[in-house]
Amino acid sequence: MTVSDVALQSGPFALAEAELYRVSVPMHEPFRISSGGVSDKEAILLRIGDGHDSGWGESSAMGGTFYSSETPESCYEELLNRVLPCVLDRQFSSMFVFEQELGRLSQNRFVHAAVETAAWDLIAHKQRIGLRQLFQIPERPVPSGLAIGLYPSIQEMESALCRYQPNQYCRVKLKIQPGFDVQVVEAGKQIVGELPLFVDANAAYDISALPTFIALDDQSLLMFEQPFAKDDLEGLAELQRSLRTPVCLDESIETAADAQRFIAAKACSIVNIKLQRVGGYLPALRIMEVCSGLGIPLWMGTMPELGIGSAQALMLAAHPDFVFPTDVEPSERWFVDDLVTPEIRLSNGCIQSPKGPGTGYAVDQRKVDKYSVAHSPLTA
């Protein structure tokens, strides 16, 4: 099914009401990457309805600006004061038309992700079907991978890696940064043994670090995820030419045009897709079409999102083009609580989504209310 087929299959829909929540859920421990970290998961949740059915979406920009310029504050403000007032009390003939209107109202992909995925959820609930059925994606358990953030010392990283029981997962990802890389991999391999392993730099290096990646090239890693800055096409192409290990791009790929450009330059061999980063399902499907046509394998990443966003990512992660395990992990891995029921759980290294309309998961309104720090209802 093409992107056009998916968008046209949505049919007409109307938006009559919306509720916007800003939530903060404590994490078990801080999550750190090379550019910063968080100790509480802040997210914007959106419920939209047509008067009969509802759909939920999540905008999961990181607090601060260490991942992107978008923040929970900026997304909430833009949704509340610009985007939602302009789409309520309106009927849209298809998701194509709705997407065009969102593009006119905002360039913020984290804002797009909340509204676009909520609209798809609403459409699926109206049709009483699951999102995978709507997108014609086969049902299957999704293999899950363990992601380990940065720690102040190798010993603390080793302790965390053991604590999170890597053998319950299908692979392991370790975060790295300059001065904390080769030794991280060597220590990690001692713990995970033959379990597939790769590293994520979150754009912390440049071509001057080529000797480091040549040293890592001998470690039989699955991939190097986003080693250089998102726009460093020439550096990434030179790196990939110099290595056997595949380079995977994450932050670099925001659009299908980005995918075409970086793949054509042979700057990557694998692409990671995050619904939040690209702005929802239709942009993700366009990137998937490009990668499929050029023979580039995919996997589904995460911010990590709370249960709403994670469940939506799992819908696409079951697609056959996603050949590596997802970063979506069980709810209890990151958060002291989650907002969906049942919670996202791991079984035999995989996540099996429940049957039902939308994602199959239901939103627990009591927990949404419990963790809300701001709430704004809107009506037409």
pLDDT tens profile 192-227: 999 999 999 999 999 999 999 999 999 999 999 999
pLDDT given at position 253? 98
Q: Does 34 have pLDDT greater than 90?
A: no
Q: Does 66 have pLDDT greater than 60?
A: no
- Give the separation between CA 56 and CA 117, rounded to whole angstroms: 7
Tokens 């994602």, located at residue: 359
pLDDT tens profile 72-119: 999 999 999 999 999 999 999 999 999 999 999 999 999 999 999 999
Fold of 3-129+364-379: Enolase-like; domain 1 (3.30.390)
- Give the separation between CA 233 and CA 81, rounded to whole angstroms: 37
Positions annotated as catalytic residues are 175, 274
pLDDT given at position 65? 62
Distances (CA, A) of 249 to 16, 144, 167, 326, 372: 39, 19, 26, 15, 34
Tokens 């975060």, located at residue: 175
pLDDT given at position 63? 74
Tokens 């801080």, located at residue: 30
* Gyration radius (Cα) of the chain, Å: 20
Domain ranges of the chain: 3-129+364-379, 135-363
Class of domain 135-363: alpha beta
Note the pTM of the prediction, 2 decimals.
0.94
Model confidence at 11, pLDDT cuts 50, 70, 90, reads confident
- Give the separation between CA 343 and CA 363, rounded to whole angstroms: 10
What does the DSSP assignment read for 283-332? HHHHHHHHHHHTT--EEE--S---HHHHHHHHHHHTSTTB-S-BS---HH
- Say how far residue 211 (Cα) sits from the centre of its chain: 30
Q: Does 49 have pLDDT greater than 90?
A: yes
- Which pair of tokens denotes residue 136? 């014609």
